Amino acid sequence: MSNLTTASDELLAGLCRQQRHIMFEHDVRICYYRGNFPGSADKVHRFAQRCVCAARHWRCLFRSALGTIYLTHRQLGVYAANPFFELGPSIVLGSSLMSRRFFQRAAQQRARAHAAAPSEQTVVVWSKNEIKGFARSKAYCEARGILPLVIRAMPHADVLDTLAQSHRLVYLPNGLEPAGRLLVEARMLGCEVISNDHSGVCGESWWHLPNEMALRVLQDAPHRFWRSVARFASQRPAATAPHLAGCYDARYIKKQRARFAKHVERLASWQEYLPNALFRGSRAVVARRSAARVVSNTDTDEAASWGRELGPQQATGVVA
């Protein structure tokens, strides 16, 4: 999806005509703010923590696709809660895709952990973006008398080394974290993870499995990805709905992109007249929770089968 944000109108229209593409969404590309709800300019995004962008050019691309692969159900929930978006055939992987090199590193770390003295170090991650929740994570530590190590401007390899030598990661984002790759890396490297329900991976069923079982689920993610691709590719394109017929025309795609930009501008204007009470307190909480409760519209829900394949679930990690 990331490359398609700069795709030409002709390319998008051509994909809609062919109806043989499969989408892999690792962000929230239908959203003008890319899912950064706390940093958005309009009240619905900011206070209700949901996307209401009318991205019709993306809707055409999703509806004409053979299927879409999402990382987490939390991410899928953002799409389902958008009143201008129609979900097509969908599969949820349950996590980011990790490399073989990372799993080798995790295995080496587990072997070293048995011989080394246990660490008491707690780490937090600095970010200038409010959505990442650095201040919130640091305040959580300070309230408990913990002086955390701050990871800042550090190469990824050094971040992994730091996590491998630490006891705990505190990561409390203020808004949507569609997947949460950092949380997965920390846990597989031996850290206790403290996060919240904004992190998509914390809501997946495998997250509460024992570490060895969770590791097997992660290692199977690339295979689940290609099984999903094969399943979608074996299907015939759905009959084109009348309201999507215009998607075949590049001029239509261009027009919808322009309308999308104007739609975002109007959001900031008409919402100034809405009372702030609509977007605070219990109503905002209900909106966020309803957006997270989504059942994937698949014929076989692989996420639900993990517990049956791997054994009974046991609570691991900590979710604040």
pLDDT tens-place string over residues 97-113: 999 999 998 888 877 76
Residue 281: per-residue pLDDT? 44
* DSSP for residue 94: S
Q: How confident is the model at residue 171 (pLDDT cuts 50, 70, 90)?
A: very high
Instruction: Identify the burial level of 292 via C-beta atoms within 10 angstroms of its C-beta, where 0-12 means exposed, 13-18 middle and 19 or more buried.
Output: buried
Q: Output the six-digit token pair for 236.
A: 């015939």
H or E stretch at 24: strand 22-25
* pLDDT cut 70: percent of the chain above it: 70
- Position 30 scores a pLDDT of 81
Task: Summarize pLDDT for 7-60 with one digit per residue, the tens.
Answer: 788 888 888 888 889 999 888 878 888 888 888 887 888 888 888 887 766 777
Q: Among the listed ranges 46-55, 87-96, 191-200, which one has the minimum average pLDDT value? A: 46-55
Write down the pTM of the prediction.
0.75
Indicate whether 168 pLDDT > 90. Answer: yes
Give residue 19's pLDDT. Answer: 85
The secondary structure of residue 238, as a DSSP letter, is P
- Sequence-separated (6 or more) residues with CB below 8 Å from residue 130: 38, 39, 174, 175
Q: Which region among 134-138, 142-146, 173-177, 289-293 has the lowest average model confidence (pLDDT)?
A: 289-293
For residues 166 and 164, give the distance between their C-alpha atoms in angstroms, rounded to a whole number. 6
In the predicted model, is pLDDT for residue 87 greater than 50? yes
Q: Which residue has the higher pLDDT, 41 or 178?
A: 178
Q: For residue 320, what pLDDT is reported? A: 44
Q: Which domains does the chain possess?
A: 3-95+223-308 (no CATH), 100-203 (3.40.50.2000)
Task: Specify whether the CB–CB gap between 132 and 241 falls below 8 A.
Answer: no
